[in-house]
């Protein structure tokens, strides 16, 4: 009887080890295929990433995503326009904090990790107080970052003014701030990542903020459809979802924003 009892215990132990082993094996198999090195591009944009300090939300996010994947990922710095070109061609695997539209959905897919709203930063002496004022004025010049898209109302304003040759494009935020201070443009579109610049007295003294009445826009990991198969896209998306679920994304955002704003930006239902 003792032998039979011992045999039963050994059999149960064997089954338990086999189950754990199979579960571990499946978990490993479910991770991204790391048989080749990947490429990921950051772009210099306020609190998302600063090339001067090599810090920012997207840098922290990328570091953790790479660690969890176990893959070798070569990270570089590029302009947003260049990033979209290379994502479309399949020469770049990933970028971060991207938003979708019909054109981008043809060649890119996303894993969402935060949402935010867009605002107009306008000169106080421009006479602009509401969105309708911008379209009626024939003097107002708007500044945007090349290849950026925004929320619905912001995109409508950009497209309307662009058709009238009243949109100036720049490669980043700093040239837009300089153009605003020097009256070459009267307004620019901004988001919460740009807030620290508003603390500069020279900007704060001459500007005011107008809010677009649009819902918050999802931003996410950008994945090239040409570079990654649907199965691999799903594996990377699962890593991002895991980072959201276990509080990692919230902890990253709390390093850069007040707790209530950080919570609002990362607490959302991801679109399908």
Tokens encoding 159:
């497209």
> Which of the pair, 22 or 174, is modelled with greater confidence?
174
pTM: 0.84
Q: Is the pLDDT of residue 20 over 90?
A: no
Q: How many angstroms separate the CA atoms of 254 and 33, rounded?
A: 31
The most confident of 54-63, 126-135, 172-181, 190-199, by mean pLDDT:
54-63
Q: How many angstroms separate the CA atoms of 267 and 87, rounded?
A: 27
Split at pLDDT 50, 70, 90, the class of 139 is confident
Q: What pLDDT, on a 0 to 100 scale, did the predictor assign at position 30?
A: 79
Sign of CA dihedral 217, 218, 219, 224: negative
CATH 3.40.190.10 domain position(s) in the chain? 38-116+217-266, 119-211
- Arithmetic mean of pLDDT, 200-204: 88
Interval 40-49: pLDDT, tens: 999 999 999 9
Tell me the sheet residues that pair with 188: 121, 143
Q: What pLDDT, on a 0 to 100 scale, did the predictor assign at position 134?
A: 77
Sign of CA dihedral 139, 145, 149, 150: negative
**CATH architecture for residues 38-116+217-266:** 3-Layer(aba) Sandwich (3.40)
Interval 220-261: pLDDT, tens: 999 999 999 999 999 999 999 999 999 999 999 999 999 999
Q: How many angstroms separate the CA atoms of 196 and 46, rounded?
A: 8
Q: What pLDDT, on a 0 to 100 scale, did the predictor assign at position 17?
A: 38
Interval 144-158: pLDDT, tens: 999 999 999 999 999
Q: How many angstroms separate the CA atoms of 20 and 83, rounded?
A: 42
Q: Is the pLDDT of residue 25 over 50?
A: no
DSSP 215: P
Split at pLDDT 50, 70, 90, the class of 2 is very low
Q: What pLDDT, on a 0 to 100 scale, did the predictor assign at position 16?
A: 42
Q: What pLDDT, on a 0 to 100 scale, did the predictor assign at position 133?
A: 83
Q: In the CATH hierarchy, which top-level class contains the domain 119-211?
A: alpha beta
Q: How many angstroms separate the CA atoms of 76 and 189, rounded?
A: 26
């Amino acid at each position: 009887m003792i032998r039979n009892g011992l045999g039963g215990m050994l059999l149960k132990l064997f089954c338990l080890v086999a189950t754990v082993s199979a579960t571990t094996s499946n978990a490993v198999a479910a991770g991204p295929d790391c048989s080749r090195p990947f490429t990921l591009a950051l772009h210099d944009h306020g609190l998302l990433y600063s090339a001067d300090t090599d810090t920012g939300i997207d840098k922290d996010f990328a570091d953790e995503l790479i660690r969890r994947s176990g893959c070798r990922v070569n990270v570089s710095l590029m302009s947003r326009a260049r990033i979209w070109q290379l994502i479309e061609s399949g020469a770049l695997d990933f970028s971060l904090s991207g938003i979708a539209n019909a054109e981008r959905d043809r060649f890119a897919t996303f894993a969402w990790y935060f949402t935010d709203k867009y605002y107009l930063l306008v000169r106080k002496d421009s006479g602009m107080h509401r969105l309708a004022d911008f379209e009626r004025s024939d003097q107002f010049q708007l500044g945007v970052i090349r290849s950026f898209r925004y929320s619905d109302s912001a995109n409508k304003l950009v497209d309307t003014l662009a058709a009238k040759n009243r949109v100036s494009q720049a490669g980043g935020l700093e040239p837009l701030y300089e153009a605003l201070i020097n009256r070459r443009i009267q307004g620019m579109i901004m988001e919460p990542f740009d807030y620290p610049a508003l603390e500069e007295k020279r900007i704060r003294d001459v500007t005011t903020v107008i809010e677009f009445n649009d819902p918050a826009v999802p931003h996410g990991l950008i994945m090239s459809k040409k570079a990654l198969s649907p199965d691999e896209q799903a594996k990377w998306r699962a890593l991002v979802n895991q980072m959201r679920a276990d509080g990692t994304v919230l902890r990253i955002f709390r390093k850069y924003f007040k707790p209530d704003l950080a919570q609002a930006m990362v607490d959302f239902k991801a679109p399908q």
